[in-house]
């Protein structure tokens, strides 16, 4: 627990909310960016994300801002409700004078804002939402996405899974859109890479309402060679504990989507699963690269360790600053055009916002979980470039019906 830093963070937030960022010696009005998120409902995710943004904004403004003007994020809480987010988006864009929108962790809120953005012709950078629909089925020219989507991350795990001897799989995923997408993508890619695999059980616990004991029994009953896990948060904690207790994971390959992210791994403490193949963020292992620099700077700035959200937040602000510089204007259409094909140097490396579907090529780290000093970590990890895990262009074009 980081009580002290948490409180400092709060104080900083409060200060920000009241006064806005102290402009550091630039000329002109700040350029405002509207950031809508579930700061209360998903505080564990939103706070590191916000700190990442704040840090990037401080750095950008110290370096002279964007187009000579300071950058400023206006943060608003939408309670995790799409309807509220729409209202706030209207306010930000028409009253607060923000030039574009970003934010949301939940996919449904992201999709709602994306739909509004397409209708109103405002630029929206969906930084965190993972749903494939944001850039594909429901994609529109005004919506861009930073993070590697569900499909991309599932494809990375499927690739790893295809290399093993396991042929029978059980899946467990929360019973809602993200879970279903994640399972569908994994099945699709894995079946393509290894046609003889068989899915012997599909478990769909209610989101945040898992009956872990029963799920573990049901999977055990199917006797699969491997398990693909999409549960997260409190569901993951319960699943892992019951699974460990009942020996479900012994002698089985387990693939965990996002399970290696600090947001999910840290709460598990010494009970983090060992030997799972996961996507995540091994910040503790970086040495001598941009990633390591970011981690060090973040720890210095906030006195706490970074989460994946911290990186995403940081890259979000970087992307927006880069787009504005490239556009040379704060007009929506200029920003939109600037985002197309935009190249940004993030701590994780150079990324591109693809012209074909507005998806960035930010990748993810794939590795194996292990325990070190009573804490779950990823070992033998590899950074997978997002560009390698996207369907070919024809397929993508078909996935974007609006164009």
Partner 1 sequence: MGLILAQLLTGLANAGALFMVASGLSLIFGVTRIVNFAHGSFYMLGAYVGYSFMQVLPGAVGFWGAILLAGLAVGLIGALVEILVLRPVYSAPELFQLVATFGVILVVQDLALMIWGPTDLLGPRAPGLGSIVRIMGEPVPQYDLALIAITPFVALGLWYLITRTRVGVLVRAATQDREMVGALGVNQRWLFTGTFFLGCALAGLGGALQLPKGGADLLMDFTILAQVFVVVVIGGMGSLPGALLASILISVLNVFGVTFLPQSTLVLMYLVMVAVLMWRPFGLLGREEVAGELGQVGEPEEPIAPAGRAVQALTALGLAALASLPLWGGNFAIVLATDILIFCLFAASLHFLLGQGGLVSFGHAAFFGGGAYVAALSVKYADTPMELALLLAPLGAGIAAIAIGYVALRATGVYFAMLTLAFGQLLWSLVFQWGEVTGGDDGIVGVWPASWASGNGVFFYLAFTFSVGGILLLRHAAHAPFGYALRAARDAHARAEATGLATHRLQWAAFAFAGMLAGLAGGLFVFSKGSVFPNELEIARSFDALIVVFLGGVKTLSGGWVGGAVFKGLEDTLTRFEYWRLALGLTIIAVVILAPEGIVGGLRKLARRLGLVRAADAPARQKEPAE
Among 150-158, 200-208, 313-321, 323-331, which window interacts with partner 1 (CB under 8 A)?
200-208
User: Which residue number, 198 or 393, has a Cβ lying nearer to partner 1?
Assistant: 198
Site string for partner 1, 201-220 (x = CB under 8 A): xxxxxx-xx-xxxxx-xx--
Among 109-117, 190-198, 283-291, 308-316, which window interacts with partner 1 (CB under 8 A)?
109-117
The tokens for 290 are 């941009």
CA dist 56 and 313 (Å) reads 8
User: Which residue number, 269 or 328, has a Cβ lying nearer to partner 1?
Assistant: 269
CA dist 205 and 351 (Å) reads 35
Provide, rounded to whole angstroms, the least separation between the CB of residue 276 and partner 1.
17
User: Which residue number, 41 or 194, has a Cβ lying nearer to partner 1?
Assistant: 41
CA dist 95 and 112 (Å) reads 20
Among 107, 149, 291, 330, binds partner 1 (CB under 8 A): 107
Residue 22: how many CB atoms within 10 A of its CB?
11
CA dist 155 and 279 (Å) reads 11
User: Which residue number, 151 or 160, has a Cβ lying nearer to partner 1?
Assistant: 151
134-193 positions binding partner 1, by CB under 8 A? 138, 175-178, 180
Class of residue 11 by CB neighbours under 10 A (exposed 0-12, middle 13-18, buried 19+):
exposed
Residue 165: how many CB atoms within 10 A of its CB?
7
Torsion 255-176-234-78 (CA) sign: positive
35-94 positions binding partner 1, by CB under 8 A? 40-41, 43-44, 47, 76-79, 81-84, 86-87, 90-91, 94
**CB contact at 8 A, 35 and 76:** yes
Site string for partner 1, 306-345 (x = CB under 8 A): ----------------------------------------
Site string for partner 1, 8-37 (x = CB under 8 A): --x--xx--x--------------------
Among 271, 274, 325, 385, binds partner 1 (CB under 8 A): 271
Can you spell out the DSSP letters for 346-373? ETTEEEEB-TTT-BB---EEEEEEEEET
């Amino acid at each position: 627990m980081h009580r002290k830093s948490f409180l400092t963070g709060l104080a900083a937030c409060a200060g920000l909310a009241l006064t806005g960022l102290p402009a550091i010696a630039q000329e002109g009005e700040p350029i405002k960016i509207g950031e809508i998120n579930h700061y209360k409902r998903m505080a564990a995710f939103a706070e590191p994300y916000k700190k990442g943004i704040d840090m990037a904004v401080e750095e950008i403004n110290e370096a002279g801002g964007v187009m000579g003007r300071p950058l400023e994020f206006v943060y608003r809480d939408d309670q995790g409700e799409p309807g509220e987010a729409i209202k706030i988006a209207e306010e930000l864009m028409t009253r607060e004078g923000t030039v574009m929108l970003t934010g949301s962790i939940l996919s449904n809120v992201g999709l709602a804002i994306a739909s509004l953005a397409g209708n109103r012709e405002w630029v929206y950078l969906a930084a965190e939402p993972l749903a494939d629909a944001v850039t594909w089925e429901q994609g529109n020219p005004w919506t861009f996405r930073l993070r590697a989507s569900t499909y991309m991350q599932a494809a990375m795990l499927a690739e790893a899974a295809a290399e093993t001897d396991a042929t029978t799989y059980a899946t467990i995923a929360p019973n809602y859109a993200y879970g279903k997408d994640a399972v569908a993508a994994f099945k699709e890619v894995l079946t393509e890479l290894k046609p003889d695999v068989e899915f012997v059980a599909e478990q769909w616990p209610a989101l945040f309402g898992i009956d872990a004991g029963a799920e573990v029994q049901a999977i055990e009953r199917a006797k699969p060679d491997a398990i693909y896990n999409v549960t997260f948060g409190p569901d993951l904690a319960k699943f892992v504990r019951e699974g460990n207790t009942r020996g479900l994971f012994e002698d089985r390959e387990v693939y965990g989507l996002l399970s290696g992210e600090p947001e999910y791994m840290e709460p598990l403490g010494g009970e983090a699963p060992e030997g799972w193949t996961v996507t995540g963020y091994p910040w503790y292992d970086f040495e001598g690269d941009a990633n390591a620099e970011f981690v060090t700077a973040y720890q210095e700035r906030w006195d706490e360790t970074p989460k994946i959200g911290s990186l995403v937040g940081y890259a979000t602000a970087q992307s927006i600053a880069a787009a504005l510089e490239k556009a040379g204007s704060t007009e929506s259409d200029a920003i939109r055009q600037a985002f197309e094909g935009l190249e940004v140097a993030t701590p994780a490396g150079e990324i591109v916002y693809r012209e074909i579907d507005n998806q960035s090529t930010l990748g993810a780290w794939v590795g194996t979980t292990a325990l070190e000093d009573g804490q779950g970590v990823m070992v033998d990890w590899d950074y997978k470039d997002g560009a390698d895990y996207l369907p070919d262009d024809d397929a993508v074009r078909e996935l974007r019906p609006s164009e």
